[in-house]
Amino acid sequence: MKLLATIFLTIFTAANSSAFGGAPFEALNMAARPGGYQAARLAVPVPARAYAAPVRKERDNMINLLGASERFMGVPYVLGPMGEGPDGEFDRGPLVSYTALDCTTFVEETMAFALGGEAGALDILRRIRYQNGVISYQTRNHFTELDWLPNNIVAGFLRDITAEVAGPSAKTVSKLISKRAWYAAKTEADLHGFGWEAPAARAQRLARLQALGEFMPDQTATISYVPLEDLPRVLAAIPSGTVVNVVREDRADKPTLVTHQFFIFDGPKGKIIRHAALNKQVMDVDAAQYIAGLANAQWRILGFSLAAVVNPGP
């Protein structure tokens, strides 16, 4: 989901980024795509070990998620590496990437291979990335709190376990989101794969992109979270394989609440966070140290929203 990659690279200094273990958020500049969409074409073969047998139970999912995610370790971070394929109207990045990932695409592909195995992964990936599995820019799950999380809960791929882990300390936060304003603010930098197009044609294409949100009403998104101050206390209770969404306070100058996604797994010495780290690669960091580094974020972090991966079946 490229929206997480659009938030605010300039908010934090390099020192802040280091304190966050590499990627507490995604970058601001949508045009900063090293190698561009050509870097990860569909022709790139699937990593031979990036498969896991289909699963039915949450406990099995945890094991397969770990195995599937390990096969992406070291894959370079690339901002927004995926789009709607060669026929996409606005973003012709590949529908799947094995050579470059950002935080959301890493989570999506890991889920897809853990749940679907070699035969079913690409179909599941389509259903995770797009509302009702319909491939288009406007049906892509851009906003985590408004699209990605609730749509994947409805689709049966996720179950919110925030309250189960946090107990009575769980809280919620809401934000009024304007997709109309979000689309209207698009620029030519948001068009990918059209360098060959004449300027006038690109301008017309941009106008069509900006018009997508013209009749979209503002919507209120609500997301639950474990408060940051309670995370050290409940960290051990977070199941291995949990999908984590980093939730920040509502600010009028920010389009979203969620700014980063990753997995929490059981490591050899405690909980680890496995994520596509900003401008680095897919990597592990110690979960307790990562959480400790979040307290002084300039854009206040409220806590973590937690979801278990489940298999909805055929």
Count of CA atoms in the C-beta half-sphere (13 A) of 307: 28
Give the tokens for residue 302: 């409220």
Radius of gyration of the chain (CA): 18
- Of the two residues 298 and 3, the one the predictor is more confident about is 298
Question: How many Cβ atoms from other residues are within 10 Å of residue 65's Cβ?
Answer: 26
| Domains in the chain: ranges and CATH | 2-309 (2.30.260.10)
CA 287 – CA 112 distance, rounded (Å):
24
Q: What is the mean pLDDT of residues 134-146?
A: 98
Give the tens place of pLDDT for each residue, 213-247: 999 999 999 999 999 999 999 999 999 999 999 99
Q: Which residues pair with 246 in a beta bridge?
A: 260, 304
CA 154 – CA 35 distance, rounded (Å):
35
Q: Is the pLDDT of residue 19 over 80?
A: no
Side chain identity, residue 145 = E
249 CB-near residues (< 8 Å, 6+ apart): 173, 257, 299, 300, 301, 302
Give the tokens for residue 140: 């892509």
Give the tens place of pLDDT for each residue, 98-137: 999 999 999 999 999 999 998 999 999 999 999 999 999 9
pTM over 0.95, yes/no: no
CA 116 – CA 110 distance, rounded (Å):
10
52 CB-near residues (< 8 Å, 6+ apart): 64, 67, 68, 113, 114, 117
Give the tokens for residue 115: 């749940």
Give the tokens for residue 24: 């507490």
Q: Is the pLDDT of residue 47 over 50?
A: no
CA 73 – CA 59 distance, rounded (Å):
22
Q: What is the mean pLDDT of residues 35-57?
A: 37
> At 64, phi and psi to the nearest 5?
-70, -35
CA-closest candidate to residue 25, choices 175, 245, 173, 231:
245
CA 131 – CA 174 distance, rounded (Å):
21
Query: What local confidence, expressed as pLDDT, does residue 1 receive?
Result: 54
Give the tens place of pLDDT for each residue, 259-311: 999 999 999 999 999 999 999 999 999 999 999 999 999 999 999 999 999 98
Give the tokens for residue 274: 């496995």
Q: Is the pLDDT of residue 177 over 80?
A: yes
Mean pLDDT of the chain: 85
Q: Is the pLDDT of residue 61 over 90?
A: no
- Confidence band for 313, pLDDT divided at 50, 70 and 90: confident
Continuous segment of H or E residues that includes residue 309: strand 301-309
